[in-house]
Structure 1
Amino acid sequence: MRRTVLSFLALILLTLSSFVTSNNPLSGHRRNFGPKLHHRKYEAPSIINEGTLSDFSTEDPLEIAIKFVSTKLHPTADFVIKDSYKSDHNGVTHIYFKQIVNGLFVSNGDLNVNVDQFGRVISYGDSFYVPNPTIREQNLRPDEKPNLGNVFDDSQYVFALESFARFINKEIAHPEDIKTIEHSTFDDGHHVLLLSNVPFALSDVKMSQEYIQMDDRSLRFVWDIQIEMEDNWYNAQLDAHTGKVVSLIDWVSDAAYNVFPFGTNDPSDGDRKLLLDPHDILASPNGWHTQGKKNFNNTIGNNVYAHENLRG
C-alpha cells in the first residue's frame, strides 16, 4: 500500500456530490452529469445506540484512519491522503483519501474518515472503486507508472482539448499557439499538464490522465480537464480513446450539494439529500462560488445562515 500525504485542501463538496443528469447536455444551459455511483455509502452510527466504528485508541488520528481503511474497508487498495484537519470545536479529525489504480488517480474514487478526540472512528464516506468480477476491463492503460514521454504526447492532449472545445461550442483556431508546462503536483508522481494561450480560458487549463469509475463498476481511462471561463468553470472527464465527455461539473453555473438539509440537527438524525442550486437568489444572486467578477471552485462569501440557539 502506498501512502502519501498531500498538502492541498480537498474540495469536499465536489468529491462527495452526486451529479445531475441532463437529457441534452448540448443545450444552452449545461447540467452537471456523470456516473451516479450507486455503491457509494456513508456510515454514521448513533454513538449512544450503536457505538462507534472502532474502539478507543491513543494512536495518531491519521494512523487510525489508515488502519481502518486498510483493514476494514479496502485491504488491497492504493491511495494517498489528500488532506486532513482537526475541528477545534469538537476535536474530530477529518481525513480525506484519493484512490490510485495503476499509478493514476481515480477521479471519483474518494473516501473520508472522521476520528473523534478519543481515537474512535465515528463515521466515514466511501466511493472507492471496487472491481466488478463480471466485467473484463477493456479501457485501461498499461499497469505502469505514468511516463512523461508518452502520457503528454501532443496529439493526445490536443485531441482531448479540441474534443471538449467542440462540446462547449468553442473553437481553437490555432492549436499550435498553445504552450504547455509539465507539472508534477504530488510526491506520488501525479502529473498535471498546464496549458496557456487557450483562447477561451481565463487561466491555465489543467489536464491530467486519470480513471473514472462508471455505474457498472468498470474503469474508464480519461483525460481530466479543468478550465476557467468567463461564465463557467468546468471540470470534465473525456474518454481518452474517443474524446467523448463522460462526466461534467460546472463549478459556477450549477451546484449540487450532497448535504444534511436544514432541520437535520445531527448526522444520526437523518440522511444526506442532493440539493441543486440551493442558494437564496436574493442574498446570493450569483450563487456561492462567485465574488465580484472572480469565480472560485470552493464556496466563498457570506453564505452562513446564523441564528441564536441558546439551548444548544
Structure 2
Amino acid sequence: MVAFNKFFKSVFLAIVYASSSSALTVPTNSKHATHRVRSIANGAKIETFHPVSTYETFGAGIDHPLRKRGASLEESTVSFINAHLGVETSFQSGFAHDVASHGYAHQLINNVIVSNAVANVAFNTDDLVVAVGSSFVKPTTVAPSTPSVSFDNAKATAESALDGTYLSEIPSTVEYFAKDDGSVALVHVLQIRNEAAGTWYNAFVDAHSNTLVSVTDYVAQASYLVLPIHKETILDGFETLVDPEDLKASPLGWHSDGTTNTTDTSGNNALTYKTSTTNTTPESGTGLVFSYPQSATTAPTTTANVNAARVNNFYIVNSVHDITYRYGFTETAFNFQNTNFNLGGKGADRVTSSIQDSAGTNNADFATPPDGQSGHMRMYLFTVTTPNRDGALENDVPTHENTHGVTNRMTGGGTGACLQTLEAGGMGEGWSDAFADWNEKNSSAVPDFILGAYLENNVAGIRTHPYSTSATTNPLTYANLATLNEVHNIGEVWANILHNVYAALVAQYGWSAEARTNPDGTEGNVVHLHLFIDALALQPCNPTFLSARTAWIQADANRYGGANKCLLWKVFASKGLGVNAAGHKNNADIPADC
C-alpha cells in the first residue's frame, strides 16, 4: 500500500467495537517487531501477534547432519532445525535457485503445526547452511489438540467479525497459534473474503472458546502509474512497444498459457479488467495490436481512457513478472502464473487487476494470498484534479503494488503471511517504493526519487521526503522508527536506505541499460536487484530492519563471495544500521575488517 495521508492514528486495543473511535497513538516502539493493529469490521480493531524472530547467518556456511548423505531439501531442512534449535518441525515448502536453496518449516506441538511459529534455512551450492531464522516458541500452556468448537460455529464467528464469507474452495485447518501471553491456543484456520469491500483475511478462531484470536491480512495498499516501465507518468509520453515480453520469463508470451490463447488483456501472468473479469480490453487490430490513445483532457472513465488504462496495467504487471522472474521470483519461488509449465510451485494464480475500482479513491492495493491463489490488485481513481487521474497511468503505482506480491510470497516460503508485524509491514512498503525507484532509473545518475507526484498534482509527491543520497534532503535513519507507528512512514526509512545502497553499487560498478532482461551483468543496478531478491528468501518470517540488513550481507556472501560486504555495511551504518544497532537506536560501527 502507498498511503496518501501523512498522518495516521491507530487504536491500540485487542478487539474493540464502537460506533465511534477515539484513537490512541501507539506510545512506544517495543512491539514493532511482534505486533500490529489491524482494522477489521464494524469499527473494530484487532492486535495481531507474531513471536519475535531470531536470525543467524554463517558467511561461507556450516555443516549439517545430512550433508554427506545426499538428502533432499525437506530432509536437510527438518534435520538441521531439529538439531540446531531442538524443536520438532513440519516441512512447509522450499525451492532452489542458482546460489542457494531455501527450506521453510512450522513448529510442531502434539503433532499439530503452530501457525505463527516458523523457521527458514538456507543452504549454499556446497550444501552448507548459510542462514537460519526462527520464531519458535516455548509455551507456558498448550490447549488440548482436539477442538471443542465445531467448524461451523467457528466459521460463523469469523464471518461475523470480519464481515465476509468463508472461501469454501480453500480447505480450513486446525492448528495451534502462539499468543503473546505465552500460551498456545488451538484454532480453526479459514480464509474470509469480502470482495466488494476489498478485504481478505486468514482467520484464526479459538477452537475451544470460539473467539477470533488473530488474522493474517493479505491486502497491502498503494499507488503508482504506467507507460514504458522506466517512465513514471503519462506526462513522459506513451510509446508503442513491439513484443515487450521476455520469452525466458514468459516462454509463450503474455497471451497464452499453453492451453488457451487470448486476444485481450488477459494471459498467463495477468488479467486486467474493469468491474467484471470479462470486461477486458480486446486487441485494436489483428496480431495482438493494442493501440488505445489516452486523452489527459477528458475523464478517465471514457471508453478510450479505460482501454488505455487496462492495456497499460496489463503491460506493467507482465513486465514486473518478467523482470522479477529473471532475478529469482520463479515458479518454485511461489510466483504468479496460471500455468507453471511443470517447473514447480502451484499454478492457477495469475495477478488479477481491477481498474478504476469502485470501492475507493485516491489509493490502490494488492492482496497476496498463498501460492496457488491469485494475487489481486485494485487501482482507483484520484480525485484531487479535474478531470480525475487514473492510478493505472502512473507506473510507480502498479509497480509498487506488484512488489507487495513479490515480497509477501518470497518471505516465509509462499504463505503471504510473513510481513505482518508493524516493522515488517513497513519494510514491505519500503521494498515496493524501492523497486519502483529501481525501475525508473534510465542512466547511471541517481537523482532523488519522488513518488506519486502526478496523481495528486503535487511536486512533493505522497511521501514526507524524496528518496535521496543527501542526508539534508532526506534525514531519515533507523532511529526514526522509535517514533513512527504507521507502515508507510516506516517504509520510507527502509526505501531511503535501499536508495543509498543502490547509489553506492552503481557508483562502484556502473549501470546497465539491459538490467531488466539480463541478470548476468556485473553493473551496480544488476547487483542491487540480485541482492534485493535473494535477501527476501533468506530473511526470517516477519523480519526487522536488523535481520533484513543481515540478509543483504548474507545474500552478497552467497552470490558474490562477500565482495560488497564493506560497501553494504558502510551504507547501512551511515543510516544507523551499524553492527551494534539495536532497539531503534542508531549505530555507525562497521566490521573491523572493513
- Whether the TM-score (by the shorter chain) exceeds 0.5 is yes
Shift of 1:115: 0.5
Change (3 A) 1:204 1:32: farther
How many residue pairs end up in the alignment?
217
- SS of residue in 2 equivalent to 1:21: strand
- The alpha carbon displacement at 1:216 in A equals 3.0
Deviation at residue 86 of structure 1 after TM alignment: 0.8
1:161 equivalent in structure 2: 155
Provide the residue aligned with 1:297 in structure 2.
Answer: 369
Aligned to 2:523: 310
Change (3 A) 1:214 1:93: same
- Which of 56, 79, 88 does residue 43 from structure 1 map onto? 56
Q: Is the 8 A contact 1:81 1:97 kept in 2?
A: yes
In 2, are the aligned partners of 1:108 and 1:213 still within 8 Å (CA)?
A: yes
Query: In the alignment, which of 84, 89, 95 is matched to residue 94 of structure 2?
Result: 84
Question: Aligned match of 1:71 in 83, 88, 94?
Answer: 83
Contact 2:51/2:136, CA 8 A, preserved across alignment: no
Unaligned runs of 5+ in 2: 1-32, 227-312, 318-335, 337-349, 355-365, 378-398, 404-434, 442-511, 513-521, 528-594
Of 110, 125, 130, which residue of structure 1 is paired with 2:138?
A: 130
Q: Give the equivalent residue in structure 2 for 1:246.
A: 213
Give the letter for the 2:207 counterpart. A
Q: CA deviation at 1:44?
A: 2.1
Report SS of the residue matched to 1:97. Answer: strand
Residue 234 (structure 1) aligned with residue 192 (structure 2): no
**CA gap 1:93/1:164 in 2 versus in 1, 3 angstroms:** same
The answer to whether the aligner puts 1:60 opposite 2:76 as a matched pair is: no
What does the per-residue CA deviation read over 1:202-226, in whole Å, with 9 as the maximum and x for residues that have no partner? Answer: 6535322211011233211111111
Distance change >3 Å, CA 95–CA 205, structure 1 → 2: closer
Letter of the structure 1 residue corresponding to residue 91 of structure 2: I
The residue type equivalent to 1:80 in the other structure is S
* Residue of structure 1 equivalent to 2:128: 120
Matches within 5 A, 1:111-260: 111-131=119-139, 135=140, 137=141, 140-142=143-145, 156-169=150-163, 200-201=165-166, 203-204=168-169, 206-230=171-195, 231-252=198-219, 254=220
- Deviation string 1:87-108 (CA, Å, 9 cap, x unpaired) is 12x2x11011122211222111
Amino acid aligned to 2:171: K
Structure 1 residues 22-73: Cα deviation after superposition (integer angstroms, max 9, x where no partner):
4x64455x777421313x212224x2xxx53437954436344333212221
Contact kept? 1:64, 1:119, Cα under 8 Å: no
SS at structure 1 position matched to 2:125: coil
For residues 227 and 156 of structure 1, do their structure 2 counterparts lie closer, same or farther at Cα, with a shift above 3 Å needed? same
The structure whose residues are more often helix, as a share, is: 2
Higher RCO (CA 8 Å, separation ≥ 6 residues) = 1
In 2, Cα distance between equivalents of 1:32 and 1:121: 37
Corresponding residue SS for 1:84:
strand
Structure ranking higher in strand proportion:
1
Q: How far has the Cα of 1:246 moved from its partner?
A: 1.4
Greater C-alpha Rg: 2
Return the TM-score normalized by structure 1: 0.57
1:60 aligned partner, one-letter code: A
1:239-269, CA deviations, whole angstroms, 9 ceiling, x for partnerless residues?
A: 12222211112212x3xxxxxxxxxxxxxxx
Distance 2:158 2:79 in 1: 40
| d(CA) in 1 for partners of 2:107, 2:194 | 29
- Seen in structure 2, the aligned counterparts of structure 1 residues 19 and 249 have a Cα distance that, compared at 3 Å, is farther
SS of 1:42's equivalent? strand
Judged with a 3 Å threshold, the aligned counterparts in structure 2 of structure 1 residues 211 and 202 are, in CA distance, closer, same or farther, namely closer
**Deviation digits for residues 162-205 of structure 1 (CA, Å, limit 9, x no counterpart):** 111221246xxxxxxxxxxxxxxxxxxxxxxxxxxxxx456535
Q: 8 Å contact 1:61–1:93 — kept in the other structure?
A: no
Cα distance change, pair 203–239 in 1 and its aligned pair in 2 (3 A): closer
Q: Secondary structure at the match of 1:130?
A: coil
2:48 counterpart of 1:34: yes
Matched residues in 2 for 1:68 and 1:201: separation? 37
AA matched with 2:123: V
Compared with structure 1, are the counterparts of its residues 202 and 108 closer, same or farther at alpha carbon in structure 2 (3 Å cutoff)? closer
Aligned partners of 2:218 and 2:90: how far apart in 1? 24
Q: Which secondary structure state, in structure 2, belongs to the residue aligned with residue 292 of structure 1?
A: strand
- In structure 2, the residue matched to 1:99 is 107
Query: Quick one: distance in 2 between partners of 1:162 and 1:235?
Result: 14
The counterpart of 1:109, out of the listed 105, 117, 120, is 117
2:37 aligned to which of 6, 21, 29 = 21
Report the alpha carbon displacement of residue 118 of structure 1 after superposing the two structures with TM: 1.0
SS at match of 2:152: helix
